[in-house]
Structure 1
Amino acid sequence: MVIDEIITKIEVEQDMATKARDKAIAEVQAIVASATQEGRSTLTKDEDERVKELFQIKERKAADLVGIAAKLDNAKRAKTAELEISTQSEERHPTGAETRKYDQVARVGSEERTYHRGNDRKGAQFVRDVAKQFLFRDLEAEQRLVRHMQEERVERAQYLQRAAGTGAFSGLVVPQYLTDMYAPAVANLRPFADICNHHDLPPEGMTVNISRITTASSVALQASENTGVSETDMDDTLLTENVQTAAGQQTLSRQALERGTGIEEVALGDLFKRYATTLDNTLINQATTGLAAVATTTTYTDASPTVPELYPKLLGAAAGVEAALLGQAVPSHVIMHSRRWYWMQSQVGPNWPTIQQPGIDPQAAGANNAVKYGTGSRGVLPNGMQAVVDNNVSTAGGTGTNEDAIFVVPQDECHLWEDPQAPVFIRAEQAKAASLGVLLVLYGYFAYSLRRYANGMQSITGTGLSTPAF
């Protein structure tokens, strides 16, 4: 633990002891005032015992404060000594040697960030400062947050302006290194979103517009020399998609924040994961615009399904995508639940694809990339499509509410708009002060479109995709 963290913990301990002492004194005063207002010259037995108990608490906390003050003084002296050693180690003394010309000019260096991997590896100090600033109006915590936001205005000013223009409340930008650090955990819960065609979210507005060609130009054979050639004016319509907000909150007890270990980084990491899950689940399952809603369905009905029977359905869906898009995009990915992927791997038999594909061994129904969940393509099917496992795919479909769909999609036509480098924001409020609760809120904006072309997305559903038997 670094000296700054030790000092922070001692200061929190001092603050709690001070509050306990002051509360005991205030309660004694309230008891005496109540007796005076009622015209009583003495206290009741219960009141007298409570006053004695409160004075014991007051004396105990006063003694604690003496010890805490000495401990805090020693910690601050240790920090001062540490700074002196650091300063002395950086001192330079003239030796009389002639300096080169480049040593005689001033240079502008870069000062380290307020929060960085070196001093706040998992974001605990950042979240602690957010909570302390709102709980206690802690001056040092507030100064660090102000300095952090000033750094953000220099390096990522456009994101702050974007947040202020669209949100109804202000927020604090999560340091970028934390977003990068939690990215693997986030990616594990958004496999489909991660393979989408990504775009930067526009800086303003709550919708994004895509051009959809409704009337194409034309080319035809010329009837004869000097006769008119084919002409059709192109026409398009705007496909408008809404910018949506994914947000989550977590109420932490003051006891957890002030006395717990690692609470801040756990809360921050979990909020990142929930945010990612919500975004990905929206892309797949949202009514009207989600993948399950826009995909053209191929039905696979079978009481005893097998991979050799399922495979032609996959190719049929791929053929449907290609017929709808032609050269605009190709069917590139198959999205499925993990139980379907493992069921496919479990199947063996004498029937194999007739046409061998590049990179697939003969008599193989596909290849497993042997990677963990959420790290990209899990494997490749015989026709070359990449298999993506995503457990946001519902397993409660069909009349029996036990089916999971398989989706065949063209990556180039799965559009997802997010803020560059996925900045999210966090704030804290004492919304549950009466319960000693501290509220942390995380949110972000995104938009997506999977419906630029009719029949551009395909799905396979039916009883053949009910709960698999292994």
Structure 2
Amino acid sequence: MTLAELIAQARTARDTAIATRQQEQDALMALRSDENLTEDAVSERVATRDAADAEVTRRQAALAALEAEQVREDEIAALQARTVPAATRAPAYDRVARVGTEERTYRPDQDRRGRQFEQDVAAAFLGDYEARDRLARHTQEERVERPDVVERAAGTGAFTGLVVPQYLTELYAPAAAARRPFADSCRPHDLPPQGMTVNISRITTATSTALQASENTAVSETNIDDTLLPISVQTNAGQQTLSRQAIERGAGVEPVVLDDLFRRYSTTLDSTLLNQATNGLTNVATTVAYTDASPTTAELYPKVLEGLSGVEAALLDQATGDNIAVMHSRRWYWMQNAMGATWPMITQPGIVAQTLGVNYATTYGSGVRGVLPNGTPVIVDNNIGTTLGAGTEDEIYLVDRQECHLWEDPDAPMYIRAEQPALASLGVLMVVYGYFAYTHARYAHARKIAGTGLIAPTFTGV
């Protein structure tokens, strides 16, 4: 078997290893989406994926070694052709090893500014094996044609204008965002495909029954009546105009900007549900006042129960019991900092004895962060205001999550990329938008704890 055949065989093996590795990665991602997955199952699949990674590395190293050997063989053949004595009879044509005229990997006549080289450097850093192959071939070509330059013992500082800087694109720091913890806890619905208003019928005058006064006398009758609850469909949108230079000559600029627009979209949606005038949760909730110059967690907790009592009293048989408490992260950590020697008189399911609730130690935006002493789940959301009331107060919201309705387009947010509007200035317009509607007022049930007892907390263990 010739060296060229060995190289072809090694390249095929390398490509097969890459395909196998991708299959293992896809299987791992599918497993992680399984709600019933176990830690052992994930660990086993990760080990299989890592083994496939190692096999790709091994196959790539073997291919690189064969290609380097081929380059060296071509060098030797070229040297032999130049050092044959003139008096020596020339061998037959098919007995001579010749250097072919294969084109260079990166050619100035085809890519004068070296853009392909720069893209391959960036792609190789992100794991593109084909880009790595092209760079390896380029290095070998340079060793053959310009060994004095490639092998010279000079550091990169001597070639500041020639060494491509390596920006750690995988470690870029996106702007932090509060995102949408409360919105993700609401009862979701698909937004109707047409119209800018969603109407809900509410029975505002109920029928009646009463004890019949005597036989053959009229029984109670009250005509049922309803009132429409109109809910406006709102548009959440943002835009950014990028120069073509930033997109075409930058590394990952467009995905980074798009990701940030999506983050702002989520934050605006969630903040609207909480804070919008008239319909936001803070404006439809009935206040449970907590006024205290020296607030403590022990004093705050009864207010939570008062609020939950009001939620159930408002909903009666429509209460689902799926209650949640929504609070700012500073309030959740303040409640955790409290120490005490008293506990609720009535035990609660899922609560360890002699503790005031449970912290699940999950990350921000990951759903339920813990439960209060009576088992009510806590949602932490930093879109809640911290300059309310006296100026440094936040609020705690208590709701039945099944009565917090959110309609969204299944495809939202949507993305428009338009080049024509800013064509004359070489700009590309990026727009992110979506439609949504919401209500917390199908039943007037929501409660909020507010007052001077919720001023900016101090962490003193009480």
> What band does the TM-score fall into relative to the shorter chain?
0.5 to 0.7
Q: Is the 8 A contact 1:187 1:374 kept in 2?
A: no
Pairwise CA RMSD: 2.6
Instruction: Tell me what 1:343 maps to.
Output: 334
Distance 1:465 1:216 in 2: 39
**1:222 Cα deviation from its structure 2 partner:** 2.9
Residue in 2 that maps onto 1:242: 232
Larger displacement relative to structure 2 (436-445 or 403-412): 436-445
| Aligned position for 2:276 | 286
Assess, with a 3 A threshold, how the Cα gap between structure 1 residues 207 and 65 changes in structure 2: closer, same or farther: farther
Which one is further off, 235-244 or 350-359? Answer: 350-359
The Cα of 1:364 is off from its aligned counterpart by: 1.1
1:253 to 215, 230, 243: 243
Contact 2:265 2:413 (C-alpha < 8 Å) held by counterparts = no
Evaluate the alpha carbon distance shift between residue 73 and residue 286 of structure 1 in structure 2; reply closer, same or farther with a 3 A threshold.
closer
Counterpart residue number, 1:460: 449
Q: Which has the larger Rg?
A: 2
8 A Cα contact 1:403 1:462, kept in partner: yes
Q: Distance in 2 between matches of 1:463 and 1:445?
A: 37
Q: Distance in 1 between matches of 2:298 and 2:201?
A: 40
Cα distance in structure 2, aligned partners of 1:350 and 1:259: 63
Decide whether the 8 Å contact of 1:335 with 1:408 is kept in 2.
Answer: yes
Distance in 2 of aligned mates of 1:331 and 1:464: 26
The 8 Å contact of residues 245 and 444 in structure 1, kept in 2 or not, is answered as yes
Question: What is the CA distance between 1:427 and its match in structure 2?
Answer: 2.9
- Matching of residue 270 in structure 1 with residue 313 in structure 2: no
For residues 122-163 of structure 1, give each alpha carbon's deviation from its aligned partner in whole angstroms, at most 9, with x where no partner exists.
Answer: xxxxxxxxxxxxxxxxxxxxxxxxxxxxxxxxxxxxxxxxxx
Percent identity between matched residues is 63
Q: Which amino acid aligns with 1:366?
A: G
Q: How many residues align?
A: 296
Shift of 1:435: 5.1
AA in 1 matched with 2:456: T
1:66 aligns to what SS in structure 2? Answer: coil
Partner of 2:301: 311
Alpha-carbon displacement from aligned partner over 1:365-421 (angstroms, at most 9, x marks no partner): 11111111111110111222110000000001012x110000001111101101125
Indicate whether 1:333 and 2:333 are aligned: no
Name the structure 1 match of 2:111. 68
Q: Which residue type is aligned with residue 255 of structure 1?
A: Q
CA contact (8 A) 1:321 1:331 kept: no
Amino acid corresponding to residue 403 of structure 1 in structure 2: E
Tell me what 1:373 maps to.
364
Shift of 1:193: 0.5
Cα distance, 1:253 vs structure 2: 2.2
1:251, distance to aligned residue in structure 2 (A): 1.9
Is the CA contact (8 Å cut-off) linking 1:406 and 1:459 kept in structure 2? yes
Match of 1:107 in 2: none
Shift of 1:187: 10
Distance 2:428 2:113 in 1: 30
Describe the SS at the equivalent of 2:111: helix
Structure 1 pair 430–396 and aligned structure 2 pair: CA distance change class (3 A):
farther
Tell me the residue number matched to 2:71: none
Q: Which runs of 5+ in 1 are unaligned?
A: 1-63, 75-118, 120-184
2: CA distance, partners of 1:73 / 1:208: 52
* Partner SS, residue 261 of structure 1: coil
| Residue in 1 that maps onto 2:405 | 415
For 1:80-107, what per-residue CA distance to the aligned partner results, in whole angstroms no more than 9, with x for missing partners? Answer: xxxxxxxxxxxxxxxxxxxxxxxxxxxx
Conserved in 2, the CA contact under 8 Å of 1:366 and 1:380? yes
